[in-house]
Every structure is written in structure tokens, then in C-alpha cells.
């Protein structure tokens, strides 16, 4: 699911006439003025090649002409040559161009070139000289978002919406950032404002779909994507996202139709073929799935989604050795790939290679149970747990029986660690400490599948899970993380007492682990952990795990989390 952030992607100074104010007086001679006028006329008319020729001729005559350097840089940015744009606009600034628009365009170019930190500095310098310019604030918000600083990004979008209340893009970007910050109602309010201002803008309907999809409001998300498609029938991303929400809602035939339409629009998109293959696989159409994956791989031989899909289809069609070979190819391209590791171990077991499977699913060594540790500001675990219960029950994203999740007869939040509540901040302190210790002690060990691949910078993504009587979670992995875990907030007395002592426990191991002759392997490669309040359980993100149903009038409450690359 990709957002379409509003904001000038090519330049901030969209009014070319305003550029006359950026030119120092000593830049103008009769010849440079004529060439600059010619280049600007072509630029305004959209004649990029002719404008480039005129700018180049001017710069041959006067290599330090600040205005030509700036405008030529903007032209490069408009045609997708961001790094050259950064170089040219930087030269313009070195030559004396200090107008806020030049600094803003420098920020846009740096952001497009993937240099978000210097982009923020340039944009802030522009705003220091000319505060409250909505277009600059939008790009600043985009740069802060790219740096993983959503609170600051939201502040930039809020300021843009305040100074330009009729700017639909400002409200749309604010909606996306509020959603990311775990403020779903405020996100929907901002998106409704954006749509009221520009109901015919397909990008806004698309973004409304992403907000609703993030809230698991799948039917409404599908409607929003269809509205985007009605306004822009060839919007590839809307067809792809429509297929994704239909797939998540288990409307598999409709998902296949959406992906097939996307493939008509862009036959050369490997991602579309790979997604189509996923839907076909879920329908049990393994031969069709393999064919779609092979189409994706013909377009992009190293497409990881297609390779994983192909390997899983090979597994399901009874060819575990072929599946292992394909998974090994994935891991050569992306060591530590969660879905590849999670499923290759099953394929190895099915191919009779138990020792190799056991090295991947080393539950005894790599599932670590960390004793209760209190964050600062709390005297005992009982007080901390009560504060966390209050915070979780009051969280605005807590939804019972959230669709398309692994939870049955329970509720989940979206991102939990938002805001400044002391319980949330205390929990973040506990989780970060637990993950760092796990990395140091286990994931960096010589025998670890992640050795040498743990990112230097990572962040915690977390969500609460509240299970009522009979509740459980089905077997799953955490594809976005490299290390995952569970912190137990409330554990009913019934947990660990029934079902052979497994009720309410977490069990590691896949739901399916058949041998080459199909014999039962129920006890092979599995481990049970009994929850206790305050315990943190850590494990690699590729470990399959599920919870066993339990019976109690009391809720079982935990916080699941991933450490994800930042």
C-alpha cells in the first residue's frame, strides 16, 4: 500500500514568472537576457529539449549565471534527473542565488535524489526567509516523513492547511500522517475535508482508500479505490490496491479480476503479475499461479515476491525440493527474507531434510523469555500493567474482531506507541531494551541466520491484542520485522491449566509440518511458552507462532511488536 503524497514533486516555484525575482542584476547582459528569455519561453511551453539547449548555450557563455543554473536545475528535476538538479541548483546558490524559491527548489531536488536530511535543512532555510508558504511546507512534510519523523511531518502539513485552508493536498497529506500516528478519526476528518475541496481528484480518493485500508475498513477502502478508478481508469496503483484489499477481505475471485485489469494496463509490471499469482495461489489454482509467477520473473528475474510465490506454489503442488531451491535463490538475493525462511524450513522437512529444517527453526535457542523489567517511574509491575490496560482499552484504534487479521474472538489495535502517555513511553523503553539485548546476545551470534544483517537503525512497531474467552491467534509470521516479540500485560488464571497445560499459551512451530511420507510430525520443531504478566518473549520474525484457545471471563492482554529497519 503506497501513499500518493501531494506536494510539488518537481519544483516549488511553479510560477515561472516569479523566477525573474531570483536573478541578481549583474546576470543580465543583452546576450544572456535573450538566451534566458528564449530558454524560459521553451520551458514554460513544455519544450524541454529546446529549453535545455538554450540554458546550455547561456552557461557556455557565462558558467556562473545563477539564474540559468537555477532554472536549468529545475528543468532537470522536472524530467527526473534529480542528482543533476541538485548539482546545478547548488551551483546557483554558490553563485549568489539566495531567493527563498531557489532554496525551496534545492530542497525539492535533494528530496527527489533521496537526500532527505539536507532537503529539510534547505526547506527550513527557505521558510526562514519566507515563512508560511504552503507549497514549501508540503515538501518539508514529505521530507520529514521520508526521515521517519511523522510528528514533525504532521506539524508541517497542519501549518500548510492552516495558511491555505482550501488546499486539498495539505489536508490529504495531513490525513495520511495522522493515520500513521494512530489518530484514525482525525485522519478521516482531514481526508473528508480534502475530498470536499476536490471531489474530482482521483489521487485523493486513492489516498482515502489507503487511510481506510490501514484501519481495516476494507469494504470502504475498496469503494474509495473504485471511485479513484472511475475518475482515472488507468490508475495502476488504484487497481493494485483494490486487488490487495479484496485479497485481504478473502474475496479472491474479485481480487484476481482487479489484478488482471492491472495487468492489462501495464503488462510489463512484474509486481502486478506477482500479486495476481498470490491470489491464484490462494484459490488453489497452483498451475495458474506458477504461470503468473513465471511471467513476473520473465519481466524481472530477481523479483522477490514472484520467487517466494513460485516456491510456495511448488510446495503446494508436491515439489518440496524445487521449492527449497527457489527459496535458496530468494535468500541469496535477500538474506534473512522472512517468508523465505519461514516456508523453506517446512519444505526442507517435507523433503526429508530434518536437520536442515531444525537449524532454521531452532526454537529452543532462539525463543528467549526475558523476565519482567520495570520502566522508570513505576514501583511495581502491577501498577505498570494497570496503566497499560487503561491505555490499551482507551486506544482509539482498538477494534473487536478486526477483519483480515490472525486474531479470532478478540481485538487488536493499530500502532500502539503513539502520543505521550507515560504507559506507552514506559513500554517503549522496555521493548527497546529487550530487543537490543536480544540482538546483542543471539541475532549477532555466528550461527544466526541474521548475522551481519541486523540493521544499524531500527524502530519498534507494536500493537495490542486482547483475547476473550475462546480467543486465539492462528499461525503467522511477521514479514516486516527482523526480530519480534510479545509483552504480557494481563494473564488470566486459566492460562496454562487446560488443554494439556497449553490453554492460552503461545506455541512456536508451523501448523503444517508433514514428512516425506506424510507421517505426523506434530511434536517436531515446536515449543510452548506459558505467559506471565510482565514477561517479554523474543524470537526471529520468521518463526511461525500461534496462541492456543482458552476459557476465562478475564481478558488475556499482550502487546506484540516488531523491530523493523528504520
Cα distances (angstroms) measured from residue 538 to each of 58, 453, 533: 63, 18, 15
| Measured distance CA(428)–CA(229) in Å, rounded | 40
Locate cell 470536499: which residue?
A: 196
Banded pLDDT at 10 (limits 50, 70, 90): very low
Cα distances (angstroms) measured from residue 122 to each of 22, 103, 136, 256: 16, 6, 10, 45
pLDDT at 510: 84
Q: Which domains does the chain have, with CATH numbers?
A: 267-360 (1.25.40.10), 366-519+527-565 (2.60.120.620)
Q: Give me the mean pLDDT over the 332-348 stretch.
A: 94
pLDDT tens, 249-277? 999 999 999 999 999 999 999 999 999 99
Q: Give me the mean pLDDT over the 420-448 stretch.
A: 88
Task: Round the average pLDDT of the chain to a whole number and report it.
Answer: 89
| Measured distance CA(545)–CA(465) in Å, rounded | 14
CB 74 within 8 A of CB 102: no
Number of alpha helices (DSSP H) and beta strands (DSSP E) in the chain: 23, 10
Query: What's the number of CA atoms in the CB half-sphere (13 Å) around residue 294?
Result: 8
Nearest CA to 40 out of 25, 23, 24 is that of 23
pLDDT of 32 higher than 70? yes
pLDDT tens, 102-154? 999 999 999 999 999 999 999 999 999 999 999 999 999 999 999 989 999 99
pLDDT at 401: 75
The percentage of the chain sitting over the pLDDT mark of 70, rounded to a whole number, equals 90
Banded pLDDT at 526 (limits 50, 70, 90): confident
End-to-end CA distance of the chain: 18
Locate cell 475518475: which residue?
A: 231
Banded pLDDT at 180 (limits 50, 70, 90): confident
Q: Give me the mean pLDDT over the 188-210 stretch.
A: 96
Nearest CA to 70 out of 22, 24, 31, 117 is that of 22
Beta bridge mates, 412:
399, 465
DSSP for 61-81, written as a single string: H-TT-HHHHHHHHHHHHHTT-
Residue 128, H or E segment:
helix 116-129
pLDDT tens, 231-244? 999 999 999 999 99
pLDDT at 456: 84
CB 183 within 8 A of CB 418: yes
Locate cell 475530498: which residue?
A: 195
**Residue environment code for 302-323, b if the CB has 16+ CB neighbours within 10 A, otherwise e:** ebbbbbbbbbbbbbeeebbebb
DSSP for 385-440, written as a single string: HHHHHHHHHT-TT-EET-TTSSEEEEEE-S----S--HHHHHHHHHHHHHHHHHII
Query: What torsion do the CA atoms of 537, 414, 250, 246 make, to the nearest 10 degrees?
Result: -140
pLDDT at 414: 86
pLDDT at 457: 87
pLDDT tens, 284-320? 898 899 899 999 999 999 999 999 989 988 988 899 9
pLDDT at 181: 85
pLDDT of 521 higher than 60? no
What pTM was estimated for this model as a whole? 0.77
pLDDT at 190: 96
pLDDT tens, 460-471? 999 999 999 999
pLDDT of 51 higher than 90? yes
Amino acid at each position: 500500500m503506497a501513499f500518493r503524497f501531494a506536494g510539488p514533486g518537481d519544483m516549488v516555484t511553479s510560477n515561472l514568472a516569479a523566477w525573474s525575482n531570483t536573478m541578481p542584476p549583474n546576470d543580465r547582459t543583452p546576450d544572456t537576457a535573450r538566451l534566458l528569455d528564449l530558454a524560459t519561453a521553451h520551458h514554460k511551453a513544455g519544450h524541454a529539449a529546446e529549453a535545455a539547449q538554450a540554458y546550455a548555450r547561456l552557461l557556455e557563455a557565462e558558467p556562473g549565471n545563477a539564474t540559468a543554473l537555477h532554472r536549468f536545475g529545475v528543468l532537470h528535476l522536472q524530467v527526473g534527473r534529480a542528482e543533476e538538479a541538485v548539482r546545478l541548483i547548488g551551483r546557483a546558490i554558490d553563485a549568489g542565488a539566495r531567493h527563498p524559491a531557489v532554496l525551496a527548489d534545492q530542497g525539492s531536488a535533494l528530496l527527489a535524489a533521496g537526500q532527505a536530511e539536507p532537503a529539510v535543512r534547505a526547506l527550513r532555510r527557505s521558510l526562514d526567509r519566507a515563512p508560511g508558504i504552503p507549497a514549501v511546507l508540503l515538501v518539508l512534510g514529505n521530507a520529514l516523513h521520508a526521515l521517519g519523523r511523522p510528528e514533525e511531518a504532521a506539524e508541517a502539513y497542519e501549518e500548510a492547511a492552516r495558511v491555505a485552508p482550501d488546499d486539498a493536498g495539505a489536508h490529504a497529506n495531513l490525513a495520511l500522517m495522522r493515520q500513521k500516528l494512530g489518530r484514525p478519526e482525525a485522519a478521516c476528518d482531514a481526508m473528508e475535508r480534502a475530498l470536499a475541496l476536490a471531489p474530482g481528484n482521483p489521487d485523493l480518493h486513492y489516498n482515502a482508500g489507503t487511510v481506510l485500508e490501514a484501519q481495516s475498513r476494507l469494504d470502504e477502502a475498496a469503494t474509495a479505490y473504485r471511485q479513484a478508478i472511475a475518475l482515472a481508469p488507468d490508475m495502476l496503483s488504484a487497481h493494485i490496491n483494490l486487488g490487495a484489499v479484496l485479497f485481504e477481505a478473502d474475496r479472491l475471485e474479485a481480487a484476481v479480476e482487479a489484478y488482471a485489469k492491472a495487468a492489462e494496463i501495464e503488462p510489463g509490471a512484474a509486481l502486478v503479475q506477482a500479486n495476481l499469482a498470490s491470489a491464484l495461489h490462494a484459490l488453489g489454482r497452483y498451475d495458474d499461479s506458477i504461470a503468473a509467477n513465471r511471467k513476473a520473473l520473465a519481466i524481472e528475474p530477481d523479483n522477490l515476491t514472484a520467487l517466494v510465490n513460485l516456491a510456495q506454489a511448488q510446495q503446494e503442488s508436491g515439489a518440496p525440493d524445487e521449492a527449497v531451491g527457489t527459496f535458496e535463490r530468494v535468500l541469496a538475493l535477500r538474506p534473512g527474507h522472512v517468508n523465505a525462511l519461514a516456508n523453506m524450513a517446512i519444505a526442507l522437512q517435507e523433503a526429508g531434510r530434518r536437520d536442515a529444517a531444525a537449524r532454521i527453526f531452532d526454537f529452543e535457542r532462539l525463543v528467549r523469555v526475558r523476565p519482567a523489567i520495570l520502566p522508570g517511574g513505576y514501583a511495581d509491575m502491577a501498577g505498570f500493567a494497570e496503566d497499560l490496560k487503561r491505555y490499551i482499552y482507551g486506544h482509539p484504534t482498538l477494534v473487536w474482531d478486526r477483519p483480515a487479521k490472525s486474531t479470532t474472538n478478540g481485538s487488536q489495535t493499530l500502532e500502539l506507541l503513539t502520543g505521550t502517555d507515560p504507559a506507552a513511553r514506559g513500554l517503549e523503553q522496555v521493548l527497546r531494551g529487550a530487543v537490543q539485548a536480544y540482538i546483542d546476545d543471539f541475532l549477532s551470534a555466528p550461527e544466526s541466520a541474521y548475522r551481519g544483517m541486523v540493521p544499524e537503525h531500527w524502530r519498534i512497531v507494536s500493537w495490542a491484542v486482547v483475547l476473550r474467552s475462546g480467543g486465539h491467534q492462528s499461525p503467522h509470521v511477521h514479514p516486516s520485522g527482523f526480530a519480534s516479540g510479545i509483552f504480557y500485560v494481563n494473564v488470566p488464571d486459566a492460562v496454562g491449566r487446560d488443554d494439556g497445560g497449553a490453554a492460552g499459551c503461545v506455541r512456536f512451530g508451523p501448523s503444517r509440518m508433514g514428512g516425506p511420507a506424510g507421517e505426523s510430525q506434530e511434536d517436531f520443531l515446536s515449543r510452548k511458552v506459558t505467559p506471565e504478566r510482565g514477561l517479554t518473549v523474543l524470537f526471529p520474525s520468521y518463526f511461525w507462532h500461534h496462541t492456543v484457545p482458552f476459557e476465562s471471563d478475564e481478558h488475556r492482554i499482550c502487546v506484540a511488536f516488531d523491530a523493523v529497519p528504520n
